[in-house]
């Protein structure tokens, strides 16, 4: 059968969807809804399958299903193989179940594999999981299987069309109900986000839109529909920028967005309007034709760069620029190799099998699973635990001149008199999971202060927590920022509410893109107030990987002692000047 005529506007829209996804990956705090680009992929897939069926350009049988699998797998196998080899070479201690994750992607069940491992698309802090994004490819492959099953029953093309529309409508509504119930009944939203049944409605809406646009409105013209199309384009772009992951997403938000994108595809399908011509511009056409290899490589490259540059002071924008250059090169190579007729047979499947062997070796011979602390060397961890029990000077057998002396002496810079003075300082030490983990060490040093740390805490929550303390707070230490950026006004509100406090801000070290923004905000606020003092954790420890667990954010026991020492020294310095 001959191939269906491509709708250029659809290719451009696919390119725009990828740009939204990439922007979300690189700047999740700026483009908070860019993940909706994947929804566009799903809707577009459904639309194109129905369009091809109606126009009769493709044989719709189990043979076609095999062809789709090969088309999806060739570029995927190239990326998974190369990324697996690179990970073995560079990050062997952090592989975890990387091999099993890659195999699940190749076999089309990565979304269910991630669910079985309690992994989340929205909780990647410090984790080396370069195949997380492949969940969507598995979901799409499962949609193709459902589509093929719907076409198994014999009948005329019109009978099949009506049956497809009827069953797709039923399954789309059931899918919506499934997402709502899963979000309501299961505490972790990942189940609703990754589930095949809960995500089917986007694909189903695409199928229904394809039926309406290709068959029901086949003679319609949309030349005069510039207003509605412009509105839908604005909805899409604004959703990319502002649509944060939250309860509304699961309680109808994603469904409404899918409906809007289905309607947009109907309008664009005729290519007789302004927006269809805009989307067919050369830039978006190039990105759209390469969107699949671009999507395969972009997230994985980003994870590798975060690992490589976790303790580098190279500006994040420069890192992103280098990533994009490599992304364009790797995606173009992958595209050319995967589409080369001479290379389509044999070589890629052999490579995939080789990857499986290498990945299994990485998973079983060098097992490193679990949280960040599981990566700590056992002998080193035992030594540090002994230090935690007896905080104070500790001599090391060897001095490493590349590391600061404080790294080896831990709390030795604080005299017994200093420790006694700090133990009498009253106030509040407020933080996130860093403070929560280090609370025993902090509380040992700051005996008269309340040490309050909690995982996932953000600056916007700090005001109410500070106000809950009715007593005066001579000292207020704030260690927040690793869970996302914050508005300067939120921090200033806290400071202004406590005019009696000397405020100490501990800035951040992390591989996440908001590190610079958080640290800049703290520096500006500290400069604006005489009684606000910056503790430059970033400036002192960013290049010192020895202080951190493998997530490059949370200090290990040695780092926790060192942070306590820095805070203590700064408090003594400021209070001694009063």
Alpha carbon separation from 423 to 358, 429, 453, 511 (Å, rounded): 54, 13, 19, 33
What is the DSSP pairing of strand 449-453 with strand 427-431? parallel
Cα angle 311, 315, 319 (rounded to 5 degrees) comes to: 85
- Per-residue pLDDT band for 226 (boundaries 50, 70, 90) equals confident
What is the DSSP pairing of strand 502-506 with strand 449-453? unpaired
Cα angle 262, 266, 272 (rounded to 5 degrees) comes to: 145
Q: Is the pLDDT of residue 126 over 90?
A: no
Looking up tokens 């100490």 gives: 504
Distance CA 532, CA 518 (A): 16
Per-residue model confidence as pLDDT tens digits over 507-558: 999 998 999 999 999 999 999 999 999 999 999 999 999 999 988 999 999 9
Give pLDDT, residue 402: 37
Q: Residue 548 phi/psi, 5° resolution?
A: -120, 150
Structure tokens at 200: 């089917």
Distance CA 237, CA 202 (A): 18
Give the DSSP H/E element, type plus range, for residue 260: helix 254-268
Average pLDDT of the chain is 85
Total Cβ atoms within 10 A of residue 357: 10
Give pLDDT, residue 188: 86
Q: Which of 110-114, 313-317, 447-451 has the lowest mean pLDDT?
A: 313-317
Q: Is the pLDDT of residue 202 over 60?
A: yes
3-state secondary structure 558-570: HHHHHHHHHHHHH
Distance CA 30, CA 351 (A): 38
Starting at the edge strand found earlier in the chain, the sheet holding 449-453 runs 449-453, 427-431, 475-479, 502-506, 532-535
Distance CA 156, CA 14 (A): 32
Q: Residue 445, exposed/middle/buried by CB under 10 A (0-12, 13-18, 19+)?
A: buried
pTM of the model: 0.83
Looking up tokens 């199309």 gives: 229
Looking up tokens 């030795």 gives: 412
Distance CA 104, CA 162 (A): 35
Looking up tokens 């299987």 gives: 145
Distance CA 578, CA 568 (A): 16
Virtual torsion, Cα 231, 235, 237, 238, nearest 10 deg? 120
Percent of the chain with pLDDT over 90: 59
Q: Is the pLDDT of residue 173 over 90?
A: yes
Distance CA 527, CA 534 (A): 9
Q: Of the segments 148-162, 346-360, 403-417, 470-484, which one has the largest average pLDDT value?
A: 470-484
Of residues 174 and 69, more confidently modeled: 174
**β-sheet bridge partners, residue 427:** 449, 475
Give pLDDT, residue 1: 45
Per-residue model confidence as pLDDT tens digits over 469-481: 988 899 999 999 9
Give pLDDT, residue 378: 42
């Amino acid at each position: 059968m001959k191939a269906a005529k491509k709708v250029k506007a659809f290719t451009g829209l696919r390119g725009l969807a990828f740009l939204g996804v990439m922007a979300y990956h690189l700047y999740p705090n700026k483009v908070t809804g860019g993940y909706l680009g994947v929804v566009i992929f799903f809707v577009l897939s459904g639309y194109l399958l129905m369009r091809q069926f109606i126009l009769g350009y493709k044989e719709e049988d189990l043979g076609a299903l095999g062809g789709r699998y090969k088309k999806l797998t060739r570029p995927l196998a190239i990326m998974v193989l190369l990324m697996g080899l690179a990970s073995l070479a560079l990050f062997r201690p952090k592989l975890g179940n990387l091999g099993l994750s890659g195999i699940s992607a190749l076999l089309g069940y990565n979304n269910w594999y991630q669910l079985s491992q309690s992994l989340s698309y929205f909780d990647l802090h410090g984790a080396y999981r370069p195949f997380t994004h492949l969940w969507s490819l598995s979901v799409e492959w499962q949609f193709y299987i459902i589509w093929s099953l719907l076409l198994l029953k014999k009948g005329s093309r019109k009978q099949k069309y009506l049956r497809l529309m009827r069953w797709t409508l039923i399954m789309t509504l059931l899918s919506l109900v499934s997402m709502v119930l899963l979000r309501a009944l299961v505490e972790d939203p990942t189940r609703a986000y990754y589930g095949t049944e809960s995500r089917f409605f986007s694909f189903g809406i695409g199928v229904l839109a394809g039926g309406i646009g290709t068959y029901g409105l086949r003679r319609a013209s949309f030349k005069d529909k510039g207003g509605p199309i412009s509105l839908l384009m604005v909805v899409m772009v604004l959703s990319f920028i502002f649509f944060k992951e939250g309860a509304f997403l699961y309680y109808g938000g994603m469904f409404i967005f899918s409906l809007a994108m289905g309607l947009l595809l109907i309008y664009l399908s005729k290519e007789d309007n302004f927006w269809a011509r805009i989307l067919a511009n050369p830039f978006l056409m190039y990105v759209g034709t390469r969107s699949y290899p671009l999507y395969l490589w972009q997230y994985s490259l980003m994870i590798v760069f975060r690992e490589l540059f976790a303790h580098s002071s190279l500006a994040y924008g420069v890192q992103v620029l280098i990533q994009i250059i490599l992304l364009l090169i790797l995606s173009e190579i992958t595209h050319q190799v995967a589409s080369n007729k001479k290379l389509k047979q044999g070589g890629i499947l052999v490579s995939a099998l080789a990857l499986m062997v290498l990945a299994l070796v990485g998973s079983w011979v060098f097992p490193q699973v679990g949280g960040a602390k599981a990566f700590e060397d056992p002998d080193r961890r035992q030594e540090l635990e002994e230090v935690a029990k007896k905080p104070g000077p500790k001599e090391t057998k060897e001095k490493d001149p590349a590391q600061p002396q404080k790294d080896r002496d831990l709390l030795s810079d604080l005299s017994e008199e200093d420790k006694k003075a700090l133990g009498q300082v009253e106030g509040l030490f407020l933080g996130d999971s860093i403070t929560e983990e280090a609370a025993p060490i902090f509380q040992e040093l700051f005996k008269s202060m309340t040490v309050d740390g909690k995982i996932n805490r953000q600056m916007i929550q700090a005001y109410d927590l500070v106000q809950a303390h009715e007593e005066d707070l001579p000292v207020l230490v704030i260690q927040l920022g690793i869970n996302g950026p914050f508005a300067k006004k939120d921090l200033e509100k806290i400071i202004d509410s406590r005019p009696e406090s000397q405020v100490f801000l501990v800035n951040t070290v992390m591989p996440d893109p908001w590190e610079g923004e958080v640290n800049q905000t703290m520096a500006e606020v500290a400069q604006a107030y005489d009684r606000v003092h910056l503790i430059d954790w970033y400036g002192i420890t960013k290049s010192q990987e020895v202080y951190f667990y493998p997530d490059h954010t949370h200090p290990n026991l040695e780092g926790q002692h060192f942070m306590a020492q820095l805070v203590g020294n700064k408090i003594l310095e400021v209070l001694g000047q009063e």
